[in-house]
Amino acid sequence: MKKGLSTKEVTQQLNTFGYNELPSEKPKNIFHIALDIVKEPMFILLISCGILYIILGDIREGIILLSTIFIIIFITFYQSQKTEKALNTLKNLSSPRALVIRDGVETRIFGREVVPGDIVILNEGDRVPADGYLLESLNLTIDESILTGESIPVHKSAQQEANNTNHLIFSGTLVVQGKGYAEITSTGINTEFGKIGSSLLAIEQEETRMQKEMKSLIKNLFIVGAILSASVVVAFYLIRGNFIQSLLNGLAAAMAILPEEFPVVLTIFLALGAWRLSKKKVLTRKPSAIETLGSATVLCSDKTGTITQNKMDISAVYDGNQSFFKHSFSEQQTKIREIIQLAHLASQENSLDPMEKAFTVAHSQLENGLVSDFQLLKEFPISKSLLAMTRVVKDNASDQILVATKGAPEAIFSLCKLSEEETEKHLKIAKDFALKGLRIIAVATTSVNETEIPENQTHFNLQFKGLLGLEDPIRPEVPQAIKDCHTAGIKVIMITGDFPTTAKSIASQIGLPDDGVIMTGEELKNLTDEELKNKIESVTVFARVVPEQKLRIVNALKANQEVVAMTGDGVNDAPALKAANIGIAMGIMGTDVAREASSLVLLDDNFASIVSAIRLGRKIFDNLQKAMAYIIAIHIPIIGLTLLPAFFPSLPLLLMPLHIVLLELIIDPVCSIAFEYEQEEKNIMNRAPRNPNEQFFGAKRIVSSLLQGLLLLAMTIAVYFASLQEGHTDGEVRAIAFSSLIVGNVFLILTNLSKTRNFFTIITEKNWALWMILSIATISLYLILTIPFLQGVFNFEFPGYQHFIPALIGAISILIILESAKYISIKQIFKTR
């Protein structure tokens, strides 16, 4: 053990077992990202439309359309690189270094260079670099919450016993106290840490509902477009007899039917959504999760480090006669000062043990930061035979020798030689504290002469002073965040490795329903998947759960058609994080394995950020639906006005390529920027999540969009024929009808921006992107109608301002109809609340 491995042996082990690291997804380069994007059906559609424009001779529009692909690839690549960079930074910060003995010399190396057979020296504050077993230990305590979910550190011993794993150490765990020597047995994927990471490879992530629906929608659009295009070619040929012209009209109809804005809008919404989430300290690893986030129906949360702060805090003090709780500490300082001071003196200085840190912090607060001048004379460490720790200190101010002892209540009662009656009295308080989910520590004291310090702590004449109840405090933002989830119709389930009594106490503090069922891991183990699926609907807390069971819980919820968001930070959470619809890992406390498995990473470990992300997910989902609905609606009049002259040869052409280009200059930025920028709906967090079985763009929404489009088409055709009746020239008719289409389009945009706010509210809001686009469109239309050169380019003639009144009246009529329909819809929405 003193020599450790030789350099030659290390090289051999590295060649055999490889580096002590887990395989992770390599960052994608721009070519892989481009390939993934182009493989998407929406982008196949986009490329097809671009090539179609070029075939038709509209090279400029085709090139512009194809250029958008490169813009989208750049946005996606930038977001991907930004995400990978942030994750690598987190990974480097959490990567441990290890102190090993090699060639007889203590050497500090990178954790990835540790090999089986290495002798590792473990000191307070070290991360255990790999799995192994202890050779020697001195008062060694390790926090294994990152692996097991248990917040209480585990006392370790080199002594090997049957059915006991306390001599084993595990990769990624933290030494909070003491020192030890260990021999490494497993590294990399062979560690317990690595086995969980490797199991993630067997979990396949499903496509999101939107991705499935988009594929179906595109397929249907292609079928409809093909049928209608073929019909146009046949009809045009039968009426006019020119096959080439008929074919070109059929292709033009196909372009009008196929809304090429869909892929642009979808990608821009998700890319900008990822950017907006990053501003809220939420890192997006999978952009598709943003859409799913707004549909979450269940939020499963690990307790330790997610709901709680993964630290210890004094919550209750008992002085032998009376109990005091945290809320009254400030008024009872004199009664609790001695007990907390004894607990502090019985603790090591600058300890990493969460319990001892809690005593130090509480003592400092009571003493207003003043440092007591005590000198350590002797320390009696905790042992398996006696769960108590004693420190003998000298008060330099008074030269008094003070003995401070802390430990398990039963051990302290025995050391103090309490009567059966006294023991029963104090044990009752300890049990009451335990029912509140607290960890109990007893303290005792005595004074001795410096020459009378015994060799064993059992020889002190100790006096019992009191009990301290410690808890892992909940994060302050959690109760409100859970309340917001309930208001939003999202069920919260807490999953923990703690005992049911502790779990119930935490559940009560954070606001989970009192009537919720608590199921233990043992009960879960005895249920079949079908039984679990039926019973899980009433469960709000899972206690004493092991990692494999977390995965079963997520799968059972998904089997019930729930959209599951799962939060966690430890290795034990990783399989469930990957299996969930949305895996949310903690960025600061979280492990690399958890981050790799997740869709989102909370950079600030703030539970409230989850609610903010859900709110933003719902907003993005709403605005995306509205943008898609608008795209379909505005394409109806474009299709109708394109086909009208094909079936009625005597009518003048209304829409020419440049007219459609001008419309696209309004439609594209409005869809991808103005709708994305629009604020959230009023009831966004006061409504139930989207029904998992409800389609993103179902028949009802499509019919609504079609009706809006047909209304605008009917109005434009009415103005068109009215202008013809008045005897205007073809150029004047075209100018009037096109103006009515543009103004009607503006009103269509304004009324579609919100489902719960009326037109007048919308126009007073600060959607600068919208007003900039509409201003440019209005100015462009005015210049085209009034400047002779542009009139010639667009085949317009100016009829006089008074002749645009029918166009304005028609557009206002559409606005009144659509706003009335919205008013009725809003009343129904809030009536059901």
Q: Per residue in 41-61, pLDDT tens?
A: 555 655 666 676 677 666 766
Closest Cα to residue 314, out of 469, 439, 507?
Answer: 469
- pLDDT at residue number 544: 84
Is the pLDDT at 516 greater than 50, yes or no? yes
Q: How far, in Å, CA of 24 to CA of 575, rounded?
A: 14
Radius of gyration of the chain, Cα coordinates, nearest whole angstrom = 35
Same-domain check for residues 305 and 323: no
Same-domain check for residues 455 and 480: no
Is 264 within 8 Å of 668 (Cβ atoms)? yes
Across-strand partners of 518?
541
Is the pLDDT at 37 greater than 70, yes or no? no
Is the pLDDT at 829 greater than 70, yes or no? no
Tokens standing for residue 409? 């209540």
Report residue 372: phi and psi, to 5°: -75, 145
Q: How far, in Å, CA of 600 to CA of 174, rounded?
A: 25
Is the pLDDT at 737 greater than 80, yes or no? yes
- DSSP state at residue 96: -
More confident residue, 61 or 286: 286
Biggest alpha carbon distance in the chain? Answer: 121
What is the number of other CB atoms lying within 10 angstroms of the CB of residue 182? 26
CATH code where residue 436 lies = 3.40.1110.10
- pLDDT at residue number 412: 94
How confident is residue 464, by pLDDT bands cut at 50, 70 and 90?
A: very high
Tokens standing for residue 221? 């659009």
- pLDDT at residue number 15: 92
Domain limit, last residue, from 581, 605, 629: 605
How confident is residue 687, by pLDDT bands cut at 50, 70 and 90?
A: confident
Q: Is residue 176 part of a domain?
A: no
Q: Is residue 402 part of a domain?
A: yes
Report residue 39: phi and psi, to 5°: -70, -20
pTM of the shown model: 0.68
- DSSP state at residue 694: S
What is the number of other CB atoms lying within 10 angstroms of the CB of residue 770? 23
**What integer is the mean pLDDT of 728-738?**
86
Is the pLDDT at 833 greater than 50, yes or no? no
**What integer is the mean pLDDT of 557-573?**
83
Closest Cα to residue 129, out of 68, 170, 177?
Answer: 170
Q: pLDDT by residue (tens digit) across 614-643?
A: 888 888 888 888 888 888 888 888 888 877
Same-domain check for residues 550 and 566: yes
- Helix or strand holding residue 632 (H, E): helix 607-647
Write the DSSP assignment of 751-797 as a string of letters: HHS-SSS-HHHHHTS--HHHHHHHHHHHHHHHHHHH-HHHHHHHT--
**What integer is the mean pLDDT of 116-137?**
90
Same-domain check for residues 361 and 465: yes
Best-predicted range by mean pLDDT (182-196, 369-383, 583-597): 182-196
Q: Is residue 411 part of a domain?
A: yes
Q: Which of 1-15, 16-30, 42-56, 261-275 has the lowest mean pLDDT?
A: 42-56
Residues annotated as part of the active site: 302
- pLDDT at residue number 122: 92
Q: Which of 87-91, 237-241, 546-550 has the lowest mean pLDDT?
A: 87-91
Domain of residue 580 covers 298-310+475-605
Q: Which of 598-602, 720-724, 822-826 has the lowest mean pLDDT?
A: 822-826
- pLDDT at residue number 299: 93
What are the CB-based long-range contacts (under 8 Å, 24+) for 479-486?
A: 479/509, 479/510, 479/511, 480/608, 481/607, 481/608, 481/610, 481/611, 482/510, 482/511, 482/512, 483/511, 484/611, 484/685, 485/299, 485/611, 485/614, 486/511
What are the CB-based long-range contacts (under 8 Å, 24+) for 188-194?
A: 188/17, 188/18, 188/19, 188/20, 188/21, 188/22, 188/130, 189/22, 189/23, 190/17, 190/131, 191/130, 191/131, 192/131, 192/147, 192/571, 193/22, 193/131, 193/147, 193/571, 193/591, 193/593, 194/22
How confident is residue 272, by pLDDT bands cut at 50, 70 and 90?
A: confident
Same-domain check for residues 452 and 484: no
- pLDDT at residue number 434: 84
- pLDDT at residue number 527: 92
- DSSP state at residue 175: E
Same-domain check for residues 325 and 304: no
Is the pLDDT at 518 greater than 80, yes or no? yes
Q: Is residue 497 part of a domain?
A: yes
Same-domain check for residues 461 and 528: no
Domain limit, last residue, from 577, 605, 633: 605
Is the pLDDT at 90 greater than 50, yes or no? no
Based on the structure, what is the number of domains in the chain?
2
Same-domain check for residues 451 and 366: yes
Q: How far, in Å, CA of 574 to CA of 595, rounded?
A: 8
CATH code where residue 526 lies = 3.40.50.1000
Is the pLDDT at 25 greater than 60, yes or no? no
Q: How far, in Å, CA of 706 to CA of 632, rounded?
A: 7
**What integer is the mean pLDDT of 337-364?**
87
Is 521 within 8 Å of 543 (Cβ atoms)? yes
Q: Is residue 686 part of a domain?
A: no
How confident is residue 587, by pLDDT bands cut at 50, 70 and 90?
A: confident
How confident is residue 469, by pLDDT bands cut at 50, 70 and 90?
A: very high
What is the number of other CB atoms lying within 10 angstroms of the CB of residue 670? 28
More confident residue, 826 or 378: 378
- pLDDT at residue number 471: 87
Is the pLDDT at 81 greater than 80, yes or no? no
Is the pLDDT at 830 greater than 80, yes or no? no
Q: How far, in Å, CA of 43 to CA of 191, rounded?
A: 43
Q: Is residue 322 part of a domain?
A: yes
Residue labelled with tokens 């502090």: 344
- pLDDT at residue number 589: 66
Write the DSSP assignment of 506-574 as a string of letters: HHHHHT--TTPEEEEHHHHHTS-HHHHHHHGGGEEEEES--HHHHHHHHHHHHHTT--EEEEE-SGGGH
Is 118 within 8 Å of 186 (Cβ atoms)? no
Domain limit, last residue, from 429, 444, 471: 471
Report residue 542: phi and psi, to 5°: -110, 125
Q: Is residue 670 part of a domain?
A: no
Same-domain check for residues 503 and 436: no
Q: Which residues contact 404 (CB under 8 A, 6 or more apart)?
A: 342, 343, 345, 346, 390, 391, 393, 443, 445
- pLDDT at residue number 265: 75
Q: Is residue 327 part of a domain?
A: yes
Same-domain check for residues 423 and 564: no
Q: pLDDT by residue (tens digit) across 203-224?
A: 555 566 666 776 677 677 667 7
Same-domain check for residues 394 and 515: no
**What integer is the mean pLDDT of 723-727?**
85
Complete edge-to-edge strand list for the sheet that includes strand 323-325: 323-325, 313-318, 463-471, 439-447, 400-407, 388-395, 374-380
Q: How far, in Å, CA of 328 to CA of 314, rounded?
A: 12
Q: How far, in Å, CA of 172 to CA of 187, rounded?
A: 11
- pLDDT at residue number 556: 94
- pLDDT at residue number 94: 47
Report residue 252: phi and psi, to 5°: -60, -40
What is the number of other CB atoms lying within 10 angstroms of the CB of residue 169? 28
Is the pLDDT at 772 greater than 60, yes or no? yes
How confident is residue 150, by pLDDT bands cut at 50, 70 and 90?
A: low
Same-domain check for residues 503 and 430: no
Q: How far, in Å, CA of 611 to CA of 617, rounded?
A: 10
